Structure 1
Amino acid sequence: MKRHIKNNVWWVGRIDWELKTFHGDDYSINHGSSQNAYLIQEGKTVLIDTIWKPYEKEFRDNLEKEINLGSIDFIVMNHGEVDHSGSLPYVMEKIPNTPIYCTANAVKSLVGQYHHPEWNFKVVKTGDSVDIGNGKRLVFVEMRMLHWPDSMATYLTEDNILFSNDAFGQHYGVEELFNDKADQCLLAEEAMKYYANILTPFSALVKRKIEEIVALNLPIDIIAPSHGAIWRDNPLEIVQKYAAWADNYQENQITIVYDTMWDGTKQLAHALASRIQAISCDTVVKVFNISQTDKNDIMTQVFKSKAIAVGSPTVGKSILSSVGGWLHFLTELQFKQKKAAVFGCYGWSGEGNATLTEALGKAGFSVVEAQAKVNWNPTAEDLDHMQAVAEALCR
């Protein structure tokens, strides 16, 4: 069932309350999500994006209850990823000659995934536009690497709506659709989590793209992303947050992450936390066991932090696999201008700290010299040594 956005613009997406993971199992969903598709009914009827394949029949059936599919003059595909395009082949079965407006890279993506080179693709680039009647136009803005090479946004003139695709979205289900109807704490949390875990590697591009959009001097009354809440109340607030997040964002926070075999490394983690708090009571300190906490939620806290500490016991002349996997993800995100410290216990050979130091350096962190490398279980003296690590992180 379509739901009204503004004037002749409607939401025709799907809210998915049961969704628990995304990108396979690589991104956790805590409060539902949505795939947002939109229908514009002006002089021309335009479908912007679809939803993903598991719900293709539901999507097409609902759309056919609202309009004759043959009345769709063209489809805009802002991005070829399956959560946006999954229902497209099922729709195109009914209207195979309908033009599809997208970027050149999106043609490669859509043909590569669905094997329909015969579809009527209309390639667009930044600044191109199309008349949809009643004095309104759709203007296209390429959003390369936000977060795929094929991504773009579409702007509806007169109604001043930016269909921003993945930019400015969140994996957060909002039954009432709009940001002013959402739980504001959850909305802020999920928007940051989305940026931290998906868009952080592209922060330099985000910064330039925001500057480019601002330079276009387009009035924006609504930002309609592909996931989560639609921004109608002060929509530029999320743009301002993105500008801040893209600029090597950090708060006065230190996050400690670790895993442990027999609780020795756990003792070091908590000793470090208490000493940081004693040195700087204004600093927020968070402690997470990697094997017991969702990696995306941890990474959101790392995103907020000015420094982190990572701990693992030595095992097999290296570190625990849980920590190694987490460090691989950390490296993918390419954080900038953050410090790090390492700590851990060992029984025999003690290579763990060196492995952590190397991995954190590759991940872009400036690793402080002070560390805790403890043979067997920590003594009181070992725990006191965490003072030096705390001081190095707080400087």
Structure 2
Amino acid sequence: MEITKDILYVGVNDHLVDLFEGQYDVPNGMAYNSYLICDDKVAVMDSVDAHFTDEWITKIAAALGERTPDYLVVQHMEPDHSGSVAAFAQAYPGTTIVASAQAFNMMKAYFGTDYADRRVVVKEGDTLPLGTHTLHFVTAPMVHWPEVIMTYDDADKVLFSADAFGKFGALDVEEPWLPEARRYFIGIVGKYGVQVQAVLKKAAALDIETVCSLHGPVLHKEQLGDVLAAYDAWSAYRPETEGVLVAYSSIYGHTAEAANRLAEALREKGVETVAMDLARCDMAEAVAQAFRFSKLVLATPTYNADVFPFMKEFIHHLTERNYQNRTVAFIENGSWAPMAAKVMTKMLEGSKNLTYAATTVTVRGALNAASEAQLAALADELSR
């Protein structure tokens, strides 16, 4: 695939993976992106997962013909991108490896060598001339590993953005960027909002026509306004949508009934509302929706003087990713000693700028007139 007349796509699609990073469901697979910049010198931008080494090296050889690469730029050492570096270095012994100092330390750990005899160590502001194209290196620590660099090509105004601006899904599957980019960002990068904000400030100083990330499609100028706005909202922990996620766990169905009754009441009041059963939905999608919406309702039974395990896991995912700047409400159930609201409040006490609804719904076993009145009051409060 030609990105510009000098830049070619040589990445691969993975439809063998079921859980990306061992935890994220990827029904449409994953893309591991790699690019060639063909100038007086040839630069390969990143490698691919080790399962696809042969396919990747064959693509490079076919694209270059009689030429050989002068440089391999390693922006990120996570194995889905660095898994073929050692094989590439063996196949092209004359190629110089370009990476950050920390990346070379990681190569020593992964490959047993830091390529001391054939490397260029780069840092913020360093450049690499290829001919017409000059590569400018931008450090991006903790987006989302400490060694990450991004690379700006000043000739074609392309930002090679490492994992930033990527998404779940292989490139041979048509789907919109936003939903899977949101799930990808919140799940993988969500903890590092401050660092992403710092990188966005650096990107704002560049004249970018195209973004080439390590996952997902090539993004062109007409898309970049929406993409950057989404990243700015996510990394600043601002709600993306005014509305409510009702996240619930239930044992015998009574808590589920209360959660769904509330969701329906909110919809009737014109509030965009999604209800998700944490035992049955994709947990990463539920977490992404919690960050998407401005308000969150947590509904769960008391369980062993605590909360139901799926709810406990969900709240852990939220707090681990710095959940903040939202309104939170509780529905608790307890046949004899309802404690869930108290436990959930305690779990969230480290989260910044949370506003708690004045109404807490307490169900004692099954809904009755009192708890139904509380549901109505909570619907009124959340719709204001």
TM-score (normalizing by structure 2): 0.92
- Tell me, yes or no, if structure 1 residue 390 matches structure 2 residue 379: yes
Structure-2 residue corresponding to 1:11: 9
Partner of 1:246: 235
Residue 167 of structure 1: aligned partner: 164
1:319 and 1:97 map into 2 onto residues whose CA distance is: 59
Q: What one-letter code is carried by the residue in structure 2 that aligns with 1:165?
A: A
Choose the corresponding residue for 1:121, options 107, 119, 123: 119
Distance in 1 (CA, whole Å) between partners of 2:339 and 2:112 is 50
- Per the alignment, residue 349 of structure 2 pairs with 361
Q: Is the aligned partner of 1:30 residue 2:30?
A: no
Q: Does 1:269 align with 2:288?
A: no
CA distance in structure 2 between the partners assigned to 1:90 and 1:20 by the alignment = 25
Say if 1:369 and 1:105 are closer, same or farther in 2 by CA, change over 3 A: farther
- Which structure 2 residues correspond to residues 156-235 of structure 1 after superposition, within 5 A? 156-175=153-172, 182-183=174-175, 186-215=176-205, 218-235=206-223
* Aligned match of 1:345: 333
Stretches of structure 1 that go unaligned for 5 or more consecutive residues are 177-181
Distance 1:335 1:201 in 2: 9
Specify the SS of the correspondent of 1:271.
helix
Structure 1 residues 384, 271: closer, same or farther in 2, change over 3 A? farther
1:99 aligns with 2:89: no
Contact 2:330 / 2:360 at 8 angstroms: preserved in 1? yes
The one-letter code sitting in structure 2 at the alignment partner of 1:206 is V
What letter matches 2:312 in structure 1?
Answer: G
* Structure 1 letter corresponding to 2:112: H
Say whether 1:311 aligns with 2:293.
no
Report if aligned partners of 1:63, 1:69 keep a CA contact under 8 Å in 2: no
TM-score (norm 1): 0.90
Q: Judge conservation of contact 2:266–2:272 (CA < 8 Å) in 1.
A: no
Query: Do the aligned residues in 2 keep the contact of 1:172 with 1:229 (CA within 8 Å)?
Result: no
**C-alpha deviation, 1:6, in angstroms:** 0.8
Q: Which moved more, 1:156-165 or 1:368-377?
A: 368-377
Q: Which residue of 1 aligns with 2:320?
A: 332
1:303 and 1:30 map into 2 onto residues whose CA distance is: 22
| Number of residue equivalences | 380
Structure 2: which amino acid aligns with 1:132? L
Cα 1:352/1:107, change in 2 over 3 Å: same
Q: What aligned pairs does 1:271-310 form with structure 2 within 5 A after superposition?
A: 271-278=261-268, 280-281=269-270, 283-310=271-298
> Alignment partner for residue 373 of structure 1, among 362, 365, 372?
362
Matched ranges for 1:37-76 at <5 A: 37-67=34-64, 71-76=68-73
SS of the residue corresponding to residue 168 of structure 2 reads coil
Conserved? CA contact 1:340–1:366, under 8 Å: yes
For the aligned residue pairs, the C-alpha RMSD in angstroms reads 2.1
Shift of 1:68: 6.7
Letter in 1 for 2:104: V
Structure 1 residues 325 and 241, CA gap change in structure 2 (3 angstroms): closer
Residue 264 to residue 109, structure 1, CA distance change in 2 (3 Å): same
Q: 1:323 aligns with which of 311, 332, 335?
A: 311
- Give, in whole Å, the separation in 2 of the partners of 1:262 and 1:118: 60
Q: How far did 1:223 drift?
A: 0.8
Matches of 2:139 and 2:316, distance apart in 1:
30
How many percent of aligned residue pairs carry the same amino acid? 24
Q: CA deviation at 1:372?
A: 1.7
SS at match of 1:353: helix
Choose the corresponding residue for 1:131, options 129, 132, 136.
129
Structure 2 residue 105 is the aligned partner of structure 1 residue 108: yes
User: Are 1:80 and 2:77 matched, yes or no?
Assistant: yes
Measure how far apart 1:69 and its partner are.
Answer: 9.2
Query: Amino acid of the residue matched to residue 255 of structure 1?
Result: L
